[in-house]
Amino acid sequence: MAELEMVKITKEELHQLIQKKLEKAGLSSIHADTVADTLAFADSRGIHSHGAVRVDYYAERIAKGGTNLAPKFKFNQTGPSVGIFEADNGVGHFAANEALKEAITLAKETGIGVVGVHQMGHSGALAYFVKQAAEQDMIALSVCQSDPMVVPFGGAEPYFGTNPIAFAAPRFGHSPVVFDMATTVQAWGKILDARSRNVDIPDTWAVDGEGNATTNPHEVKALLPIAGPKGYGLMMMVDILSGTLLGLPFGKHVSSMYTDITAGRNLGQLHIVINPSFFTDLEQFKKDINQMVEELHESKPANGFDQVLYPGELSEIIEAKYEKEGIPIVKSIYDYLQSDTIHFDQYNKASAFGEKVQ
């Protein structure tokens, strides 16, 4: 497949374009600002699967009533260090961000804050949230549910979602260590990104309708878990922590992004925030993380590698590059963001993989 035309823009321009489009779809300015911040963050770090490629979908869901535009958010503290943030099917990015603030407050007071987000919409790249906690000298772990589109190890039909995990820890004098991973070989958003760019995918990412490996992103019918049974176990763990624990639908019962775009998603997410100062000397902890990173950098690289990087460091490198050169965006997506079109009516009543169901 041939590469598509790209344009490069600043993070600030991308944020403005996304916010304007979401506001035009009906989202309030304060909510649209947070969503735009999350998406621009993802694109700025090379996580294009969770960036501007998602705006058309979000805009269609917002315009057609699938996102509650006036949610009644409420935080219920159910114990000294725990609570539930009721999202009322508001836009997930904003709800998750508000819940994170509650978790950080609890961790500062008691040493740990565990907050579940109940009945929310899709919240984008989890790295966005854990990084904020680490910038306040906290350790953070965040997990959330997603659409059932992954075959279980040994299975032939989807059951769990890509069910991502994100982690962050503060460093002394440096940006936090942050990594964000799907429990599949690649996130569904990576397939979306490949479709938008019209490029092939590796044959280890997904399978077609017959269960055979495919390199064509348009033929994908199910994703594969990382490391077989190990990834399968992790995605089950995430589903329990962010779904079952919160009294929400689990596994194959989790709502699809596209089946009914006029209805709320009722998704769950869990933030776990730990205050290192309740366990050890904070400054020494941060210096130890630095030492760990330095020792990894000094490790002998394997053939084909220039240096050993810490998990998530590639995103930091990409962010620095894009800050100088601009963020590459597929031109058709950029043109859409600049246009008067709110959305293209392509998602409602589609399959889990974005294909129209007749």
Beta bridge partners of 268: 118
Please choose, from the candidates 267, 213, 217, 261, the residue with its C-alpha nearest in 3D space to the C-alpha of residue 239: 267
Beta bridge partners of 180: 166
174 is catalytic: no
User: How far is 7 from 327, CA to CA, in rounded Å?
Assistant: 8
Encode 168-234 in three state secondary structure.
EECCCCCCCEEEEECCECCCHHHHHHHHHHCCCCCCCCEECCCCCECCCHHHCCEECECCCHHHHHH
User: How far is 198 from 215, CA to CA, in rounded Å?
Assistant: 11
Pick the catalytic residue from 122, 174, 253, 343.
122
In this structure, what token pair is assigned to residue 4?
A: 């598509």
User: How far is 107 from 314, CA to CA, in rounded Å?
Assistant: 29
Please choose, from the candidates 208, 250, 265, 233, the residue with its C-alpha nearest in 3D space to the C-alpha of residue 65: 265
User: How far is 62 from 44, CA to CA, in rounded Å?
Assistant: 24
Distances (CA, A) of 142 to 6, 92, 187: 32, 14, 16
3-state secondary structure of 35: helix
User: How far is 264 from 205, CA to CA, in rounded Å?
Assistant: 29
Residue with tokens 């598509």: 4
Residue with tokens 């699967």: 49
User: How far is 155 from 329, CA to CA, in rounded Å?
Assistant: 36
In this structure, what token pair is assigned to residue 32?
A: 């649209």
Active site residues: 122
